[in-house]
Structure 1
Amino acid sequence: MKIRIGTRKSKLALIQTNIIKDLIEKNTNHQCEIVEMSTLGDDRRDLKLTEFGGKGAFVDTIEKALLDKSIDIAVHSAKDLPVQLEQGLEIGAVAKRANPQDVLVMAQGKTISSNSVIGTGSIRRQLQIKAKYGCKCKDIRGNVPTRLKKLDDGEYDGIVLARAGLDRLNMIDIDKYNYEFFETSEFVPAPCQGIIAVENRADDGDIRDVLKAINHMETYVCFVAERAFLKAMDSGCQTPLGAISEIGEKSLKMECFYYKDKIVKMSIEGENPVLTAAVLAKKLKEVTNEG
C-alpha cells in the first residue's frame, strides 16, 4: 500500500513529514508519497493569527483533504492542532518528542535590556519574556528562516523560537547568534511543543494498524495529558497558557503556566494522564477564580 501524507510546504514541515515517512517505511512494508499543501495560515502571512482563526489556520486545508480521501494521513506540529479535531479524525501516532524548550536567539554580542525589542507572536511567550527581562515584545510571523532574516535586518534585538524547530533545521549552532535556552520549569512551553502528530481517519483500520507500529508511547501519554489539560481549560490559540509533562518511574508530572491578571504557575503528579490534567486545570481555575 502506498500511503499519501499531507503536509504544509515549509522546510520544517517537510523535515517533520520525512521523519514520519522514514518511520513508516522502516517499520512496515508500506511506501509513502508526500503531498504538499498550503493552509490559510501559510497563505495569509500579512495577518495575525488572532485575525483568522488561530491554531486551526495551519491544519484546515489538510484536514479537508484527509476527510475527502485525497490523502491518507496528515503530519502536523502538535502544538498547532485545534483543541477539537474535525469529526471523524483522530491522532493515530506521535513521533518521539524533541526538546520542548523555547530559545531566545540574539545577534552575537547582544544583551537584553529594558529597551530591547523581542519578536514573538505568542502571548504566552510575551508574558514570560516581559516577566524575565522587563523588555518590549513585538509581533512576528513567518517561518524560522524568515524570522531569523528579520533579526539579521535589525527589526528585533532577539526572537523567541522553539528549540525543536531549530534542531530539526540544524540551525542551533550558527556562529553569528547567541542562544539562551530556557528551562521548561522557568519558561513553560506551549502544550505539545516538540511533538510531531500524525492525523488519520478514525474509520480507516488499515492506516490505524500502520500508525500503531510507529507510535512513541511515552510521548503519546504526554500528548494526551497536555491535550486534556487544554480541553479542561477550554482554551484557544490566544489564551496565555503553557503546559509540559514528563513521565517518571511511577507517575506523570505536569507543570503549567497561566495568566489572568497575574502569572500563575502550578505543578501536579498523578498516574492517569487525563485525570491528572483535569485535576491541575481544576486547581488552576480555583486559584484564578474561574472554577
Structure 2
Amino acid sequence: MPTHYKIGTRGSLLALTQCGQVKDQLEKITGDTFELVTIKTQGDIQTSQPLWQMEGNNFFTKELDEALLKGEVDLVVHSYKDLGSIRPEGITLAAVTKRTFAHDILLIKNETIPTIKNRTEFIVGTSSPRRVVNLEKNLAEFLPKGKNAVVKTKMLRGNINTRIQKLRDGEYDAITLALPGIERLALTPSSLEELKRLLDGINFMILPQSVFTSSASQGALAIETKSERSDGGELHRKLALMIDQKTKEEVARERKAFNEYGGGCHLAVGINVRKLESAKGEFFLHNHHGNLDGVEISFIELEGRNLPAFFTAPKVFNGHPTNDELISKKNIQVTLDQGLNLYITSKYCLDAISGSNPGSVWAAGTKTMKDLAALGYWVNATADAIGDEEVQNLRASHAVSLMVDTKAPLIVLSNDEAKSTLTDAEVIACYKREINETVSEEFKSEILKTEVFYWTSFFQYEAYVNRFPEIKSKFHACGIGKTYDLFKSNGIEVFPMAGMEEFKSWTQS
C-alpha cells in the first residue's frame, strides 16, 4: 500500500519547480505519493533590501523548519545554499541530490552587447556580496572591448522570472543569476514556456569558477526531515535513494570552507569544489575567490596529490610561449563561414576569426576568453582549463539551448595535429607548431639547469625531452585537462596542477 507524504516548499516558481522534480523522482523510485505544501518565508515576503542587510537569519528556511518540526509536512526541499551553518535541533539532512551545474550566469540583452565598447559604466544587477566583489573587480576584462568600463552593481531581488523581466525592462545592463536555477526551470514543461519568453533576445556568459566563484553548495538540493519519526526510519531510507555521492563530497568540502570563513549571507567569498574523476585519477579542484574583512581571498588548489616542499625556490620553466625558443607557431590561412559555433583553444587562433560573426563563442581558458573580449567578441563560456568535456557539459544545458543553437556542430579552432574528443565537433587547423633547429646557448644552459617544468602541451614535453634528454628525470607538472591525460596514457609520471597560478604559488612558496 503506497504511503502519502507532504513536501514543504517555498512558493516561488523555482522552488515549486525543483520540488516538483523531486516529487516526480521520489514517486518513481518509491511507488509512494507526494504532495507539495506551499509555505511563505520571510525571504520571499521582504524583497526591498539585500538579505545581508536584514535582521536575523534563515530567511528562506525558518517557516519551513517550523512546519517540519510540527509535523505539518514530512520533508522539505531546500536550495542547499540557503541553509545556514547551524540547523535546528530535531531536523536531519536526509539527502543531497545530484547537481549538474554550480556556475553563475550573466544575462544580457543582445542589443546591449555592441554598445559596451562605448560605455564608461556597466550596471549589473545582483544583491550577493560575493558577486558584487568579484564582478566589480574582474568583469570588465571579460566584456567585448569593455576594459575601460567601470562595472558597478545594483540591488536585484525577487524570483528568477521577475529578475529577468527587470533586465528586459532596461533596469540593468546585465544581471547575474545561478545557472542551476534557470536550468531547473528549463527542464519542466510548466515553467519552460515562461522561460522561453523571458530569454527571447537574451544572450549569456557562463562565468568561470576560477574567477567568479559560485556560492558554497550552489546547485545542490538538500532534503530534510525530522530526526525522530514514528515510521521506524522508513522515510529516511527512501530519501537516501536520492543521495548523489559525488555532489555530497563536493558540498561537504564547500560548506566546511564556508564555515571556516565565518559563513552567513554577508560572506563575500565564493567557494566551489569540483570532483574530477576518470582513469587519470581522482581529485578535488578548489576555487575560493572574494574578500574577507577587507582581505582578498584567491585560493586555487588541487586536492588529491602530494606535492613535495622546497627548501628554496627551484629553477622553473613554466611552459609559457614567451619563454619558448624551441617551438614556433605559424598561422594557417582560414576562411570561416558566418554564424558558426566556435571553440577557440589558443591565442594563435585569434587571427583566424578576424572578421567573422560567430553564432556563439567558447574558449579553452580564461586567458583566451579575455583575449577574445579585447578583440570585441562576446564569449559565452570557457572550459576553464579543466578540459574540453567542460564545454560539452555546458553546451548540454537546456537553458543555454534557449539562447544559442547547441544542436549545431561546434567548430574547434586549434593546431594542425589536433583531434577533438567532443561529440559532433569539427577541428579546423589555424596554426601549426614547428620545432626550431637551433636555440641559443643561453637558452640551452637555462633549460639544463631547470629542476621543475610546467608543460602546456604534451607536444611541448616531447619536443624538449627529445632535444634535451637530460631533463627527462626532472620534476614535471601540467594542467588537469587533455595534457594530463596524454601524460598518463603514455605512462609518464607528471604532477597535475589546478593551473599556472597554483604552479607559481607552489614553486615560490
Q: TM-score range by the shorter chain?
A: 0.7 to 0.9
1:213-241 residue CA offsets vs partner (Å, 9 max, x unmatched)? 11111111112221121122222110101
Per the alignment, residue 253 of structure 2 pairs with 225
User: Given that residues 134 and 290 in structure 2 are in contact (C-alpha distance below 8 angstroms), is that contact kept between their aligned partners in structure 1?
Assistant: no
User: Given that residues 54 and 237 in structure 1 are in contact (C-alpha distance below 8 angstroms), is that contact kept between their aligned partners in structure 2?
Assistant: no
Per the alignment, residue 186 of structure 1 pairs with 211
Which runs of 4 or more aligned residues in structure 1 lie more than 4 Å from their structure 2 counterparts after TM superposition? none
Q: Given the alignment, which residue of 39, 42, 48 partners 2:41?
A: 39
Offset at residue 91 of structure 1 (A): 1.6
Larger Cα Rg: Structure 1 or Structure 2? 2
Partner Cα separation in structure 1 for residue 199 and residue 125 of structure 2: 19
- Mean CA deviation greater in 168-177 or 194-203: 168-177
Per the alignment, residue 265 of structure 1 pairs with 298
Q: TM-score, normalised by structure 1?
A: 0.87
SS at match of 2:93: strand
Query: Within the alignment, does 1:243 sit opposite 2:271 as a pair?
Result: yes
User: Given that residues 7 and 14 in structure 1 are in contact (C-alpha distance below 8 angstroms), is that contact kept between their aligned partners in structure 2?
Assistant: yes
Give the number of aligned pairs: 271
User: Given that residues 6 and 37 in structure 1 are in contact (C-alpha distance below 8 angstroms), is that contact kept between their aligned partners in structure 2?
Assistant: yes
Partner Cα separation in structure 2 for residue 146 and residue 55 of structure 1: 24
Offset at residue 13 of structure 1 (A): 0.5
Q: Report matched runs for 1:143-182 at 5 Å.
A: 143-170=159-186, 171=195, 174-182=199-207
1:111-147 residue CA offsets vs partner (Å, 9 max, x unmatched)? 3444121110001111111112231111111001111
Partner Cα separation in structure 2 for residue 97 and residue 91 of structure 1: 16
- Mean CA deviation greater in 107-116 or 233-242: 107-116
User: Given that residues 108 and 175 in structure 1 are in contact (C-alpha distance below 8 angstroms), is that contact kept between their aligned partners in structure 2?
Assistant: no
Structure 2 residues without counterparts, runs of 5 or longer: 141-149, 187-194, 305-509
Q: TM-score, normalised by structure 2?
A: 0.51
Per the alignment, residue 126 of structure 1 pairs with 132
Which letter does structure 1 place at the counterpart of 2:199?
A: I
Per the alignment, residue 198 of structure 1 pairs with 223
1:6-32 residue CA offsets vs partner (Å, 9 max, x unmatched)? 000111101110121112111113211
Q: Taking structure 1 as reference, are residues 19 and 83 closer, same or farther at Cα in structure 2, changes over 3 Å only?
A: same
Offset at residue 96 of structure 1 (A): 1.1
Which letter does structure 1 place at the counterpart of 2:296?
A: I
User: Given that residues 109 and 178 in structure 1 are in contact (C-alpha distance below 8 angstroms), is that contact kept between their aligned partners in structure 2?
Assistant: no
Could you tell me the percent identity over the aligned residues?
Answer: 30
Partner Cα separation in structure 2 for residue 225 and residue 76 of structure 1: 19
Partner Cα separation in structure 1 for residue 31 and residue 161 of structure 2: 35
User: Given that residues 27 and 214 in structure 1 are in contact (C-alpha distance below 8 angstroms), is that contact kept between their aligned partners in structure 2?
Assistant: no
Partner Cα separation in structure 2 for residue 114 and residue 167 of structure 1: 32
Per the alignment, residue 489 of structure 2 pairs with none
User: Given that residues 108 and 177 in structure 1 are in contact (C-alpha distance below 8 angstroms), is that contact kept between their aligned partners in structure 2?
Assistant: yes
Aligned CA RMSD, in angstroms, stands at 1.8
Partner Cα separation in structure 2 for residue 62 and residue 45 of structure 1: 18
- Mean CA deviation greater in 178-187 or 116-125: 178-187
Partner Cα separation in structure 2 for residue 168 and residue 54 of structure 1: 29
Partner Cα separation in structure 2 for residue 213 and residue 201 of structure 1: 17
Offset at residue 53 of structure 1 (A): 4.4
Partner Cα separation in structure 1 for residue 37 and residue 75 of structure 2: 10
Per the alignment, residue 284 of structure 2 pairs with 252
SS at match of 1:14: helix
